[in-house]
Structure 1
């Protein structure tokens, strides 16, 4: 006997799909942490070196690399990106009429 698997389309935000509070903020933080983690990995920066660059201890770098979002504010993540040689630009635009809701997202150039 085969059990039917129900599939539900994602809203595009897993945090909203899970019913978590502040899903847009959580998604923004997750994208910023992903970018920071990718930079550290790509540049082969050790956790000790990252801790010194970011001005935090190694345990916080480990928390960052494993996606512990609650430990870091959005502004702090912006500062980490700056410390890693990245510019952070915030652009506010009008929502296209075709979109149901306005969105917050991280875009890399």
Structure 2
């Protein structure tokens, strides 16, 4: 059976942050974990790695790679995820700056995606 799209439903372009679009508030650590996991997932896909191949590169098992690619990050520390990025050939540069009189923030800048990852 074929379904037709309802032409009265508006299509709204997302902001690029699905959590903000859904009004889900994450703390800074969770935002950082999501950004790192997203980069890991993108690298795995761009390089055409299977989860098993990625797991071997990362020194972990396939189930943990599956959890990362599905956004199930509860069992992962920021430090461990950063280690996975390093294992995938990423350099990590950290720049700290003072935010006078306000709560600080975490901003992640990632390089453009390429076919080589």
TM-score, normalising length: structure 1: 0.74
Equivalenced residue count is 94
Where does 1:65-80 land on structure 2 (aligned, <5 Å)?
Answer: 65-80=69-84
Structure 1 unaligned blocks of 5 or more:
1-9
Closer, same or farther in 2 for the Cα pair 1:78/1:19, shift >3 Å? Answer: closer
Ranges in structure 2 where 5+ consecutive residues have no aligned partner: 1-14, 112-117
Q: What TM-score does the superposition give when structure 2 sets the normalisation length?
A: 0.70
Answer yes or no: is 1:108 the counterpart of 2:110. Answer: yes
Name segments (4+ residues, structure 1) moved above 4 Å: none
1:56 alignment partner in structure 2: 60
CA distance in 2, matches of 1:69, 1:57: 15
1:4 aligned partner: none
C-alpha distance in 1 between matches for 2:78 and 2:25: 21
Between structures 1 and 2, the one with greater helix share = 1
Higher normalized contact order (CA 8 Å, seq sep 6+, divided by chain length): 2
